[in-house]
Amino acid sequence: MTIVIPEVRRFADAEAISRAAADEVQRIATAAIAARGRFTIALSGGSTPKRLYALLSREPFRTTIDWERVEIFFGDERAVPPDDAESNYRMAREAMLESLALAPSRIHRMEAERPNLDAAALAYEATLARVFGLALGAGSPPPSLDLVLLGLGPDGHTASLFPHTAALHEARRWCVPNWVPQQSAHRMTLTYPVFDQAREIVFLVAGAEKAAPLAEVLEGPQDFDRLPSQRIRPAAGRLVFLVDEAAAAKLGRH
Ligand code: 6PG
């Protein structure tokens, strides 16, 4: 496996992380649009990125990012309807998407409310294939997202790649359903093959409850099954952790 050296950037608090993340998004979006005519991003769920999304929907980012050229994807979703309080799509819609009035055709949500989650995951793969102009099927390369935003769970999960779950071992599919016994819940998630191809991956990690898992992920012994975030290694891309002082409290060499 490729050796990827993560870049760790420390900030005072979650607000400072959000501001730095907004600057990263703008920089990466501008470069991607200049190079390839559009910017593809996978959003993360949870609560940490909410402030980032709110910042992106306001000035200066509202104007400095060419939103007409942005394709929005999601890294994972909970198996709930899109208007459910647990929905990652709903969070992003309320925090950012509806205020930016993006064309619905450029917002690609995971339809994890469908009774057949595998069919929904296959449909998401088809959407990725269409937008990226790729063929689906054995041997076809996964899409290369310009930016993937991720969070770190207190148990070491990221996206909906939870410890000791089946999706961790997916080597071919781009998007899969994942049963998470720890949460007694179904989730849908992009897979390592997609994260491996990302051009840039930015983790947002804030709060004292993240201090122990962050230290284990960055500095502990390799244990991908227990710490799925440790296996996030974009093969030719950049991996950045934006962390606040509380989350960085147990870091040694970073
Ligand atoms: C989700 C996620 C998840 C999240 C982490 C961290 O759907 O919940 O995408 O992987 O990023 O649980 O969440 P916080 O940053 O809110 O702690």
Per-residue pLDDT of the chain (254 residues; tens, 9 = 90+): 567 889 999 999 999 999 999 999 999 999 999 999 999 999 999 999 999 999 999 999 999 999 999 999 999 999 999 999 999 999 999 999 999 989 999 999 999 999 999 999 999 999 999 999 998 877 789 999 999 999 999 999 999 999 999 999 999 999 999 999 999 999 999 999 999 999 999 999 999 999 999 999 999 999 999 999 999 999 999 999 999 999 999 998 78
Say what the pLDDT of residue 1 is.
59
Cα of 157 vs centre of ligand 1, distance in Å, is 8
- Determine the 3-state secondary structure of 130 from DSSP: helix
Cα of 250 vs centre of ligand 1, distance in Å, is 20
Euclidean distance between CA atoms 194 and 191, whole angstroms = 6
For 237, residues 6+ apart whose C-beta sits below 8 A from its C-beta are 4, 197, 198, 199, 200, 201
Say what the pLDDT of residue 110 is.
98
If one residue of 17, 152, 155 were mutated to test the ligand 1 pocket, choosing by the most ligand atoms within 8 A of its CB, it would be 152
Say what the pLDDT of residue 2 is.
64
Q: Give Cα 183 to chain centroid, integer Å.
A: 19
Domain assignments of the chain as residue spans, ordered by start = 7-244
User: Sheet of 76-78: strands edge to edge?
Assistant: 76-78, 185-190, 175-180
Rg of the Cα atoms in the chain: 17
* Residue reference for tokens 């993006």: 102
Residues with CB under 6 A from ligand 1: 44-48, 75-76, 88, 151-153, 157-159
Counting Cβ atoms within 10 Å, is residue 169 exposed (0-12), middle (13-18) or buried (19+)? exposed
Cα of 151 vs centre of ligand 1, distance in Å, is 5
Right CATH for 7-244 from 1.10.10.10, 3.40.50.1360, 3.40.50.11030, 3.40.50.1370: 3.40.50.1360
Number of the ligand 1 atom closest to the C-alpha atom of 151: 11
Number of the ligand 1 atom closest to the C-alpha atom of 77: 7
The pTM for the full model equals 0.97
If one residue of 41, 47, 48 were mutated to test the ligand 1 pocket, choosing by the most ligand atoms within 8 A of its CB, it would be 48
Q: How many CB atoms lie within 10 A of CB 218?
A: 23
Two tokens at 88? 């990652």
Number of the ligand 1 atom closest to the C-alpha atom of 187: 7
Cα of 100 vs centre of ligand 1, distance in Å, is 23
The residue among 13, 85, 9, 90 whose CA lies nearest residue 53 is 90
Q: Maximum Cα–Cα distance for the chain, whole Å?
A: 46
The residue among 211, 198, 192 whose CA lies nearest residue 254 is 211
